Every structure is written in C-alpha cells, then in structure tokens.
Structure 1
Amino acid sequence: MEPVEIISDGLRLRDWVPEDVDALNREASHPSVQRWSALPTDPAATADFALREAPAKRAAGTALHLGVFGAASGALLGAVALHNITPSRGYAEVGFWVAAGARGERVAERAARVLLGWAFTELGLGLAGWRAMVGNHASRITALRLGFTMEGTGRAQRLRPDGERPDRWAGSLLPSALTRPGLLDTPEIALAARRARVFGGPRPVLTGPGGVRLRAAEERDLPAIVATCRDPETLRWTTVPENYTLADAAGFSLGYQPAQWTAGTAAMFVIADPDDAYAGNMDLRLSRPGDPLFADVGYSAAPGARGRGYTTAALRTICAWGFETLDLERIEWLAHVGNDASRRVAEKAGFVAEGVRRAGLPHRGERRDVWAAGLVPDDLRAVAAQGNAS
C-alpha cells in the first residue's frame, strides 16, 4: 500500500514523519489515552512505532496507522487506524484515539468516518469492525454515531502490558450504514451518550431520607456482607451461595459490582445507615435487551438494620436517581410469593402490585411463583406528595 494522505472535514490524515514523534509521544502518554490503549510511552518505542512499524505494516497491506491533524493548524489532534486488513475477506477494523486538548470536537468520529469512507472505496472493504475495552464509553458512542451495529461482548483474548485481560465490546459496519457528517444524534444515541457520561465516571454517593446513603462497597463492609448472606432469611429468599465466605463477598462486591458499573449494565450500591455502617445492598439492573428505558431492582437488608426504614429510603432514592439520571420509564420489582418484608418495602416506595407470575424465577433447583410490581415516575411523585402532605 502506498503512503496515504486524506484531507476532509477540516482534518488531515497522513503517515507519521520524524517531526511528529515528540507530540505523538506526549499525547499518547496521556493517562486518558493510556487507560484504553497499549500505545508505547517510551520516546524510543514511540519513534520505532511511528517511523518503522507503521510504515512496514502499511507496505505489507496489513494495517494503516495515520496521524490526525488540523487541516489548517497542523496541530496533532489524535490518530486513526485500520487494523487486521484482510483483502480476501474485504474486512478491516477501525481504531482511534483523541489528544486530550481536542476532546469535544468529535475528532475521532470525523477522522474515522473519513478513513472508513476512503477504505470502502479505495480498498473495496465490504465490512468494517470495531472493538473497544468494556467501559470505553466514549469509543462506543463514536462507533454508534458512525453507524456501527453493536454485536455484544467478546471474551478477552490477549494480555495488556499491565497484565490485565479485559473483555471487549464489538461492532460491525456495512458501507451503506456509514453515517453522513453533521447528523444529529438519534434519541437512542442521545440516551446512550448521557448514560456514557454517568457510567464513564465513578459510582456516585446517593443521599436519601433520614441520612441513608448509597455508596460503593468497601473492604470494611465485607464481614457484615458475609453475615447478611449467611442469615437464614437472606438464604430463604435470595440465590446467594450457601456457606458464603469473605472471598465470595470480595469477589462480588469489590469485583463484579464495579465491573457492572463500568459496563453500564447495573448500578449496585451498599446501603449505609446514618453512621455510614453497612445496612444492606441495593441493585438497579438495566437488564432487558432492546428496552433501555426499563430496569429492575433487587435488595437485601442486614439483620440488624431491618425494620428501621433504611431499605425503603434507599429504594426510593435509587429509583428517583434512575428516573432522573438514566431516563428510565419503568422499574420492576419481583420477589418470591411469601416474601412479605420485601413486598412491604416495595409498596412503601410506591411500587404498584401487578399480579403473580407462575414459576417466574428459579430458586435453588426449582422454579417458584413470584409477585410482580412496577414503578413509573408518576408513582414516585405520588409517594413524595403524600409524604409532604402528612
């Protein structure tokens, strides 16, 4: 493949030259770029990549690495690439990153659109792929804006230099689906972008009535979590493993829960009492494929915290946050028939009973009937109005 230079949409895409190395090393070493990439940070390694490795891969026709510069200013704005170019399949994968000072200008979207349009025409590609580490919401939104269809999550296949083996989101794009410049976000993409700003940051601390707080679990909570999960009432109504251990608690609370937040699939919190002691768990799960405005809740209370109103306050708080911050339109509660304590909490929070689902949930080797209830924003407002009137 011959050297490539493309000027379009206010950008200049071109091969790296020796004069770019210092700026490339500086921008590629920024923490916001390193978080999601395996780019070298050593100046010598950066020079080797830009001036030897990238041209060699272009010449071999296996990859194309281009710097992205302002067409007028000449300033380095980022980089865009085609990886795994496979002419026999008419396939390649696109990748991109943006310099810290160029964020907010949709540089990655503009550069990738220019390169993909060129590749579909000049290389005859019939399909483009996109992959990004789970949690890289900015890259995911860029891919959606380009017209990529999300295809799911792939298990990690290779180690990063830091020893991690992260799973990756994957998407694909047909030439006919590549979007035009300047299109406004669809409602679905606008919703995804708002949520990306939420899940792209740390879990917040949510404050509820009576000094109740929802926060991320901490190591100091683990003994109380174990005690709660070993409690007979918890075992009776939930699917927590029997003989729950500190390792189970650490794996779930300090591993699984943060991973769900990073992926944007659930918001899981510890319920903390007014003294910031563990009082239970509260989960809001975005769990229905194809319905991003739906979520369901699950919760448990520490034995010593039951009957004090903490769980009800926490449930109202997380539901209000879900409606306001995640734009949810319906939240669902399910519990095994007979779990009166859970039902009282849900009804006090405003959930409206909707009936019994026969064999609705599996539980320790059998399927059990479950109560079902739903909450919409008007229900929560009605509960708040009643509280203000009393």
Structure 2
Amino acid sequence: MPLERNPSTGELFLRLPAPYTSLILTPPRPDAPAIQAILRDPAVYTWLGRPSSNFSFEDAQRLLGEYTAAANAALDALKDDETEAGALKPMEDCPVRCLREVQPDGSDAFVGHIGFKRCKWFELGLDSDTAATRNGEQRERLVKENDARVTGDPDIVWQVSYYLSPTHHRRGIMTVVLRTLLDEWAIPRMCMRHIHVSVFTGNEGSVRMLEKCGFVRTGTMERCIEVRGERRSLHVLDWERAD
C-alpha cells in the first residue's frame, strides 16, 4: 500500500515524489479556517462555481464535513481491505485528500484539497448562446447508470475537483498531486479508467495541468452558466486510461 502512517499520530498519509517531498496528502482535520481563507481569495474562487468573497466560516465547516464523511468512509473500508482470496478490495474513494506542506520543525500547514466523485455531468442541461439546451433526461440517465455500477467497476465515470492556496500556484504542484493520486491510488485501488471534468474558460493554468495529466479537451460551451451575475463559458475535458 502506498500510504504511510505517521509514527507519532497514527495518521495515514501519502508523500509526493521528489522534489515535492515536503508536501503530503492526509485525511481532513479541523481545517475550516484555512479552507475559508483559501476559498475567499479571488485567485481561487474566480475559477470555482460555489465560493465567493462571502464564503463564511460556517460554509467552510459544512464543506469540511463533506470531506470528512468521504474520507472516514474510505478509512473504514481500509479496515477490511482484503477479499477472502487475499486480493485488495476495490475502493470507492481515497482517504487522503488534504494537501499539507511540512515545515522544518515538523509541523504542517493546509494548502489545498483534491477529491474524486462519481461524475454528475454538471454541464449537461446548461443553457448556451450557441447550442441548444442539453437534454436533462440524458444527464439523469447517465447519472443513474453511473451510480448503479458497483465499486470497482472500470466503467464508472469519475470527476475530480481541486484547489490550491495562491501561495503555491505556478509551481507545478497540482500536476504532481493528480498524477500521484492516479498512479498510486485511483488506478490501482479505485479501478479508475475515465474522468470527465469542466473548467471555466480563462483558467488556462488548470487546463494546462489537466492536459499534462493526459486529459483531452473535447469541447467548449459558450456563455452557458451564470456565476455571481456573470455569464461564463466552460471547457469540457476527458481523461481515459490507455491500457
């Protein structure tokens, strides 16, 4: 198992490869203040649909609750990690999702988050100035079929969301985080073969990061969604594992 265990606290963690070994992924902790600070920063929330400068501490606590519930479910699944035949059981999620930078004194600081979920095809059903409204029934069918697949089914389509503190932007960190999680966990333990995402146009850093990880841009939906009073466009990208 690629996860290590902190000898002092017993907490599981995943260390990034060199030259990023000071960065680790851990389960959630009481990170609400750091989450709030990052998601209130315009360098971050501009490219996300939900947060804004009004993102409250209570909002951060609710979001942290979502992270914690997902991570705890994965940690519980790890307690019974083998089938009767001795093989490792496929996982529905990853127990480590909070990115932290380890300081010289051994302490660490929350600097970002990444998480996988079964795909919900968010962009389907959105209005577009240049295309007909996507079929909401198609989205409902896709989500229903996707949710019905059993854990470990390679036909599950996933989505990934992430954010990083502006203090750590433009250093290639999220590229390494996503590649590491794919190679060390998502592919071998979640049987992940297909990820589908949408990214706001203008967020070229995120698009470049995804393309470096093997994602391919499959289309652009012009002015398809209103966010904070502004009509925004979306790039759609897909990653499929080449067997």
Is TM-score (shorter-chain normalized) higher than 0.5?
yes
The correspondence of residues 304-383 of structure 1 with structure 2, limited to 5 A, is 304-320=167-183, 321-358=185-222, 363-364=227-228, 368-378=232-242
Distance in 2 (alpha carbons) for counterparts of 1:213 and 1:259: 20
Which residue pairs with 1:279 in the alignment?
A: 111
Which residue pairs with 2:46 in the alignment?
A: 236
Distance in 1 (alpha carbons) for counterparts of 2:117 and 2:225: 16
The correspondence of residues 180-259 of structure 1 with structure 2, limited to 5 A, is 205-209=13-17, 210-211=20-21, 212-219=23-30, 221-242=31-52, 243-253=54-64, 255-259=65-69
Query: How many residues were matched structurally?
Result: 176
Distance in 1 (alpha carbons) for counterparts of 2:98 and 2:179: 14
| Structure 2: tracts of 5 or more residues without a match | 1-10, 75-90, 120-142, 150-155
Instruction: Tell me how far 1:238 sits from its aligned partner.
Output: 0.8
SS of the residue aligned with 1:289? helix
The correspondence of residues 29-108 of structure 1 with structure 2, limited to 5 A, is none
CA 1:228 to 1:299, structure 2 compared with 1: closer, same or farther past 3 Å? same
Instruction: Tell me how far 1:330 sits from its aligned partner.
Output: 0.4
Distance in 2 (alpha carbons) for counterparts of 1:359 and 1:256: 30
SS of the residue aligned with 1:256? helix
CA RMSD of aligned residues (A): 2.9
Distance in 2 (alpha carbons) for counterparts of 1:265 and 1:367: 35
CA 1:294 to 1:361, structure 2 compared with 1: closer, same or farther past 3 Å? farther
Distance in 2 (alpha carbons) for counterparts of 1:278 and 1:349: 23
Could you list the per-position Cα deviations for residues 40-83 of structure 1 after superposition, in whole angstroms to 9, with x for gaps in the alignment? Answer: xxxxxxxxxxxxxxxxxxxxxxxxxxxxxxxxxxxxxxxxxxxx
Distance in 2 (alpha carbons) for counterparts of 1:258 and 1:334: 24
CA 1:215 to 1:361, structure 2 compared with 1: closer, same or farther past 3 Å? farther
Instruction: Tell me how far 1:357 sits from its aligned partner.
Output: 3.0
| Mapped contact 2:28–2:68 kept (Cα < 8 A) | no
CA 1:259 to 1:299, structure 2 compared with 1: closer, same or farther past 3 Å? same
Could you list the per-position Cα deviations for residues 6-58 of structure 1 after superposition, in whole angstroms to 9, with x for gaps in the alignment? Answer: xxxxxxxxxxxxxxxxxxxxxxxxxxxxxxxxxxxxxxxxxxxxxxxxxxxxx
TM score, norm. by length of structure 1: 0.40
Which residue pairs with 2:97 in the alignment?
A: 269
| Mapped contact 1:269–1:282 kept (Cα < 8 A) | yes
Distance in 1 (alpha carbons) for counterparts of 2:226 and 2:116: 19
| Mapped contact 2:14–2:26 kept (Cα < 8 A) | yes
CA 1:250 to 1:330, structure 2 compared with 1: closer, same or farther past 3 Å? same
Instruction: Tell me how far 1:298 sits from its aligned partner.
Output: 1.1
| Mapped contact 1:214–1:272 kept (Cα < 8 A) | yes
- The structure having more radius of gyration, on CA atoms, is 1
| Mapped contact 1:266–1:286 kept (Cα < 8 A) | no
CA 1:272 to 1:323, structure 2 compared with 1: closer, same or farther past 3 Å? same
Instruction: Tell me how far 1:216 sits from its aligned partner.
Output: 1.8
| Mapped contact 2:93–2:190 kept (Cα < 8 A) | no
Distance in 2 (alpha carbons) for counterparts of 1:207 and 1:343: 24
SS of the residue aligned with 1:237? coil
CA 1:206 to 1:331, structure 2 compared with 1: closer, same or farther past 3 Å? farther
Distance in 1 (alpha carbons) for counterparts of 2:144 and 2:180: 24
TM score, norm. by length of structure 2: 0.62
CA 1:336 to 1:272, structure 2 compared with 1: closer, same or farther past 3 Å? same
Structure with greater helix share of residues: 1
Higher RCO structure (Cα 8 Å, ≥6 apart): 2
Could you list the per-position Cα deviations for residues 219-275 of structure 1 after superposition, in whole angstroms to 9, with x for gaps in the alignment? Answer: 2x333221111101222111233322332222211x122223439876572122344
SS of the residue aligned with 2:145? coil
Given residue 290 of structure 1, which amino acid in structure 2 is its aligned partner?
A: E
Instruction: Tell me how far 1:360 sits from its aligned partner.
Output: 5.3
Instruction: Tell me how far 1:205 sits from its aligned partner.
Output: 2.8
CA 1:343 to 1:323, structure 2 compared with 1: closer, same or farther past 3 Å? same
Instruction: Tell me how far 1:362 sits from its aligned partner.
Output: 5.3
Distance in 1 (alpha carbons) for counterparts of 2:55 and 2:67: 17
Identity %: 27
**2:143 is the alignment partner of 1:294:** no
The correspondence of residues 172-183 of structure 1 with structure 2, limited to 5 A, is none
Distance in 2 (alpha carbons) for counterparts of 1:326 and 1:301: 24
